[in-house]
Structure 1
Amino acid sequence: MTERYKPNTTVACVIHCQGKFLLVEECINGAVKFNQPAGHLEANESIIEACAREIVEETGLELTPQALVGIYQFRAAADLAFVRYTFCIELAKQQHATPRDNAITAIHWLNLADITALGNQLRSPLVLKSIEDFLQQSDKNHPAQHTPLSLLNVDYF
C-alpha cells in the first residue's frame, strides 16, 4: 500500500489598493523572499479565520477576506506539497502595515511590474499566479468575478 498523500493546507491573501499589492518580505534559508500574507491552517480554525489571522500576524492589519481568488495545488519538492486557498481584499486607501511576526522583515506596496521583476525572489509561482488571477477576475471586460466566501461552507466546523 502506498503512503497517503497529505499536502499542507495553506491560506494567502491578495491585498490590492489603487494598482498596488501588499507583499511581505521574509528571509528563508538566507534568501530574501516576497509573498502575500500567508501561512498554514491551524487546528480549530476555519480557512477564512486562518487567512484573517495570517493577515494580522504578518501585517498587523485587521482585515477580513472579501472573496476567494482560487484554490491552488502546488508541489514545492518531491515530498512537499500544498493546497493553497487564496483570498482577496480590495482597499480604498493604502494602510500602514507593521508586522507582528518576527519572520517578516518588511512590508511593500508594489505594482504588477515590480512584482514580476522579482522573479525568483517570489516565495512560489503562486504569488504572481494569484495576482494575475485576481486581476483577470477584476477586469470589467472579463465575465468572471471573484468567488464569494459563501462557497466555503463552515457550518459544520
Structure 2
Amino acid sequence: MTERWTPHATVATIIEKDGRFLMVEELALGQQVLNQPAGHIEQGETVIAAAVRETLEETGWHVEPEGLVGLYTYTAPANQVTYHRYCLFGKALSYDDQAPLDDGIIGPRWMTFEELRNSDKLRSPMVLTCIEDYLQGKRFPLSVIIEHP
C-alpha cells in the first residue's frame, strides 16, 4: 500500500509597524534564518488562533489578525515536506518581554522590505512572496476562512 501524502498545515503573520515587518530570527537545520512568525496549526485549533499563538510564542508580541493575504504552498528541498501556509496580516497590540519563546528562536526583529529583499537568510521563498503580495494590496477578509467545528 502506498503511503498517503500529507502536507503540513501552517500559518504565518505579516505585522507591519512604522514601515518595518515583524520577523523571527531562528535556527532551522543548524542555520540562522529569518521567517515571519509562523508554525503548524495544532489539532482542534482554528487558523486565526494558531496565527495569534505562533506570533506570541515566536516573538512575544500579542497581535490581532485583520485579514488573509493568501494561501501558499512550498515543498522544502531539505526534507521534501510540502507546507500549505495561510498567511494572515494584522496589527501589533502589545509586547510581552516575559513571554517564553519557542526552542530554536533567537528573537524578534523588525525589518524593512529592502532589508528582507537583500537578505540571503530567508527561510523559504514564501517569506518574501507573502510580503510582496501584502505590499501589492492582496487582502481578503478573515470571513473567507470557514472552519466547521
Shift of 1:68: 0.3
User: Match for residue 16 of structure 1?
Assistant: 16
Shift of 1:83: 0.5
Q: d(CA) in 1 for partners of 2:30 and 2:15?
A: 26
Task: Please say if 1:151 is aligned against 2:144.
Answer: yes
Identity over aligned residues, as a percent? 40
Question: What is the Cα-based RMSD across aligned positions, in Å?
Answer: 1.9
Task: Please say if 1:86 is aligned against 2:87.
Answer: yes
Q: TM-score, normalised by structure 2?
A: 0.89
Q: d(CA) in 1 for partners of 2:37 and 2:52?
A: 9
> Where does structure 2 lack aligned partners over 5 or more consecutive residues?
none
Match of 1:101, as an amino acid?
D
Shift of 1:153: 1.1
Shift of 1:3: 3.6
User: Match for residue 116 of structure 2?
Assistant: 115
Moved over 3 A (4+): 95-99
Q: TM-score, normalised by structure 1?
A: 0.84
Distance verdict in 2 for CA 1:79–1:100, change over 3 Å: closer
Q: d(CA) in 1 for partners of 2:75 and 2:103?
A: 26
Shift of 1:53: 0.7
User: Match for residue 39 of structure 2?
Assistant: 39
- Whether the 8 Å CA contact 2:22–2:36 is kept in 1: the answer is yes
User: Match for residue 58 of structure 1?
Assistant: 58
User: Match for residue 128 of structure 1?
Assistant: 128
Q: d(CA) in 2 for partners of 1:4 and 1:31?
A: 30
> Where does structure 1 lack aligned partners over 5 or more consecutive residues?
138-144
Match of 1:32, as an amino acid?
Q
Residues 94-153 of structure 1: per-residue CA shift (max 9 Å, x gap): x6564622321121111111001112x10100000000000001xxxxxxx510000011
- How many residue pairs match? The answer is 146
3-state secondary structure, aligned to 1:63: strand
